[in-house]
Amino acid sequence: MNARMSRSLIVLALLSVAMIITPAAVSYPTGVSGIKDSGCNCHGAVASSEVAASISGLPDQYNYSEEYEIVISFSGGPADAANSNQGGFNLWVSDGALAPTDATVQSYGENEASHTEAGNDQTSWTMTWTAPASDKNVEFILHVNSVNGNADGNNGGSSGDLWNRLSAKVSPPILVLEQADPFVVLSTLIIVSTVLLIITLAYVFYRTNPDNFTWDYFAPWIADWLTSTDHKKIGTLYFVAGLFFLGVGGIMAMMIRIQLAVPGNDFLTQDQYNQFFTLHGTTMIFLAAMPLINGFANWMVPLQIGAPDLALPRINAMSFWLQPVAALLIFTGVFSGSGADTGWTGYAPYVVSDTAHLGTTMWVAGQILLVASSTLTGINFLTTIAVMRAPGMGWLQMPLFTWSILIANLMLFLSIPAFGVGLIQVYLDRVIGTAFYDVSAGGDPLLWSHLFWYFGHPEVYVVIVPAFGVISEVIATSARRSIFGYRSMVYAMAGIGIVSFIVYGHHMFTSGMSPTLRFVTMLTTMLVAVPTGIKIFNWLKTMHGGSLVYRTHTLWTLGFLVTFTIGGISGMFFPSIAMDLHLHESYFVVAHFHYVLVGGTVFGFYAAIYYWFPKMTGRMMDERLGVIHFLTGFISYNALFWPMHRLGVWGMARRHHTYFVTTEEAMGALPIEAAGWNMFISVSAFLFFFSNFFLVANMIKTVIRGEKAPADPWGGWSFEWMTASPPPTPSFDPHNLPILRDANEHIANEPGSLGRLFNRLMVSEDEEVAH
């Protein structure tokens, strides 16, 4: 490692550390958690054992709804009757209701109480606690300050004061299991998933060569993976990371569905729910879908165009390794109980407001790194595809998957700077107090929405267009036909790419932005249906006259055609403004984008996994497990998302931590049937989640003892099927690159209809000579 590289690494490490540490500068003495941990406004940095807090009057076991008089007190520390002030407290209770009995105590809602100004000169306070009407394990958390009463002003009068903390538990009449903190559940599941992933990788290493299962062999093996610049290895890293975060995002989705299974549920608090849906969206888009795309793109683009590697292999490695750092930043807030709670869209001014969690800063910092990663990836693929195509391969002879990656990266390249700029503005607003989005200081309340959706809508296409590429490859190969309308497929993808930049306003129909802009984007949004329709009809026509062979990737492709068509059609309801005013921000939107992003992108990538896994590993996947995966996944997926359309029309709002149905006793927002449908959706969600275990099992089984794969198991035409399975490194000999032949060469040399017309008009040279 030379000195320049060492310096660069040190600077990068320092920057990463700085981004993590900076937001912590405003954390509370007990961490950056919510009110129950930090609400004491503790006087001092650390708790002091000199102060002893106590709560009296609490029963060991409460009676339903009974009122208890409780006394809070403390002893020790600098408190003294001679001081001008003696102390204060903050009490938080998980259930039941706290209420003051005199002017020395004030409550903040039912769950929190503190001393008043008048109660600042005491060491004990009295209040009532009404026990819950149901069985709950109740937790009390008390913070007390013992103060010396100085008023030097420099430290808010708190220098020399001491504080401490006490927690107590009260049991219900009927003992119930302690409910785990959802963050603990999430963290546990993530850790378990990580451990399982590590064990799986270790097992794969072991099975590759059981005789060499020693550290001496393992160290260079793992070092090779961590430092490799080979496109195939980086592709695999992206692929594993993408699948891992698909699982993590799925775990969060399951917890969201537990919360929504019944009306008025309290499995997650509002605060927790807001963090879960924020991270679910961020994880699925940026840490699952994008890495999966990059995984396949890394693997297949060089192979498909006959290149030995990507144009900039070290940039490629850096693009990947920025992602785990970004993921750590994004999740840091969650593990401290104060993760981003802004939604993946991070709307301003909420995102810069005091009410947004502190973890939002880390979330923004992580996304800035992802922007950097995506930009570097974009440079790499555009360069590679532009200059490293094999001899004989013109632009209109590239495989459609490569075309899809080219168009996706062009879209990303043109849109992501807007997002990056917006993120940096938000970061500066949150950290050093600039006012890009502080409306009271002249900031613009709609600027973020414009910047975000200018990026956000093309981003949705960035994750779906590569799936179009996959489906084009798979359906043609499975039908043993050339894709119908190759050129119109390319133009349709390019058309989608262009139109994607002028439709984003449909996310803002109800935002109050310029009506002219809203009207224009209504028209352009309608236009997206044209290239999308061309693609669907071309895929269907490709099967015409073909010899479709049913394999698992064929099944997922046909499934994609069903779900993506439904998702596309439901998308047409939004540009009709009079309908959008009702459907916007409802579960109809949730259903639509899951039909597009899961039924489209994820199904597309399931097809890609079954299609290219033999090429990547040299082993054939188990078709029986694959069919079981498809049947269970396809059915449970539709059961999960289809009913959401109806819930949206009924008025179920997205990003609401719970919902209420109208009963004879009380008015709610939704009809009573909504409760049953939500339970059905939650059960289906679990079935869909677990159906993916068939895929994981299949991949593990295949790697360990799958049948050896030939170079071209499905009969494809493009260059990746020319190399061995798995391909060697470098993928193609740089001194002996493959040359693409063209079955249309005789056609290509013949003039088109326009050429024939000109030929008729022109006098040929032979005739001129004759005259």
Name the minimum Å distance from CB 153 to another protein: 31
Options 37, 121, 230, 309, the catalytic residue: 309
Note if the bond before 349 is cis, omega within 30 degrees: yes
Q: Is the Cβ of residue 584 or residue 629 nearer to another protein in the bound state? A: 584
CB of 707 to another protein, least distance (A): 13
Q: How far is the CB of 410 from another protein (least distance, A)?
A: 22
In the complex with another protein, which residue's Cβ is closer, 330 or 479?
479
- Does the annotation count 355 as an active-site position? no
- What angle is formed at CA 321 by the lines to CA 319 and CA 324, rounded to 5 degrees? 120
Find the helix or strand (DSSP H, E) in which 604 lies.
helix 603-617
CB of 619 to another protein, least distance (A): 17
Compute the least distance from the CB of residue 117 to another protein, in Å: 25
Question: Considering beta carbons, is residue 52 or 711 the nearer one to another protein?
Answer: 711
Nearer to another protein among residue 239 and residue 437 (C-beta): 437
Question: How far apart (Å, rounded) are the C-alpha atoms in residues 225 and 206?
Answer: 15
**Which of these, 471, 408, 463, lies nearest to 601 by C-alpha position?**
463
Per annotation, catalytic residue among 136, 357, 506, 645? 506
- Is 771 among the catalytic positions? no
Cβ neighbors of 341 (< 8 A, separation 6 or more) are 271, 274, 275, 278, 356, 357, 359, 360
373: annotated active-site residue: yes
Closest distance to another protein from the beta carbon of 655 (Å): 5
Q: What is the DSSP string of 111-146?
A: SEEEE-SGGGB-SEEEEEEEPPSS---EEEEEEEEE
Omega prior to 730 cis, within 30 of 0: yes
Determine how many CB atoms are found less than 10 A away from the CB of residue 754: 8
Cα 394 versus chain centre, distance: 36
- Does the active-site annotation cover 280? yes
Single out the catalytic residue among 33, 73, 104, 373. Answer: 373
Q: Out of 273, 344, 556, 714, which one is annotated catalytic?
A: 344
DSSP 104: T
Is the Cβ of residue 353 or residue 375 nearer to another protein in the bound state? 353
CB of 717 to another protein, least distance (A): 5
Catalytic, 544? Answer no
Tokens (6 digits) for 9:
């690494």
What is the Cα–Cα distance from 34 to 233, expressed in whole angstroms? 41
Taking the least distance from each CB to another protein, the nearer of 313 and 505 is 505
Say which of 165, 582, 646, 654 is annotated catalytic. Answer: 654
CB 114 within 8 A of CB 89: yes
Angle at 372 between CA 10 and CA 235, to 5 degrees: 95
Neighbouring CB atoms inside 10 A of 11's CB total 10
Active site residue 459: yes
Minimum Å gap between C-beta 107 and another protein is 15
Is residue 166 within a helix (H) or strand (E), and if so which, with residue range? strand 162-170
Q: Select 173 or 710, whichever has its Cβ closest to another protein.
A: 710
Q: How far apart are CA 347 and CA 365, in angstroms?
A: 16
Q: Could you say which of 232, 257, 450, 535 is catalytic? A: 535
Give the amino acid at 573. Answer: F
DSSP string, 207-254: HH-GGG-SHHHHHHHHHHHHH---HHHHHHHHHHHHHHHHHHHHHHHH
Please say if 171 is a catalytic residue.
no
Query: Is 165 or 656 the residue whose CB approaches another protein more closely?
Result: 656
Q: Is 532 a catalytic residue?
A: yes
228 given a catalytic annotation: no
- Tell me the two tokens of residue 256: 């969201």
Q: Among 559, 731, 708, 739, which Cα is nearest to 638's?
A: 559
Q: Which residues make Cβ contacts (< 8 Å) with residue 242, sequence separation at least 6?
A: 287, 288, 289, 290, 291, 292, 294, 295
Q: Taking the mean position of all CA atoms in its chain, how far away is CA 749? A: 48
Active-site residue identified among 374, 563, 586, 725 = 374
Residue of 454, 461, 504, 714 marked catalytic: 461
Give the strands of the sheet with 162-170, arranged side by side: 105-107, 112-115, 87-93, 138-146, 162-170
Locus of tokens 């693609």: 535
Please state the closest distance from residue 561 (CB atom) to another protein, in A: 6
Q: What is the DSSP letter of 652?
A: P
Catalytic residue (choose from 115, 280, 553, 657): 280
User: Which of 179, 178, 187 has its CA nearest to residue 276?
Assistant: 187
Given the residues 459, 580, 622, 720, the one annotated as active site = 459
Is 344 part of the annotated catalytic residue set? yes
Considering beta carbons, is residue 28 or 660 the nearer one to another protein? 660
Name the residue nearer to another protein (CB basis): 199 or 523: 523
Active-site residue, selected from the candidate residues 232, 257, 450, 457? 457
Annotation says 309 is catalytic:
yes
For another protein, the closer CB: 433 or 533? 533
- Minimum Å distance from CB 272 to another protein? 10
For residue 535, indicate whether it is catalytic.
yes
Amino acid at 319: S
Minimum distance between the CB of residue 82 and another protein, rounded to whole angstroms?
42
Q: Using CB atoms within 10 A of its CB, is residue 660 exposed (0-12), middle (13-18) or buried (19+)?
A: middle
Report the catalytic residues.
280, 309, 344, 373-374, 457, 459, 461, 472, 506-507, 532, 535, 654
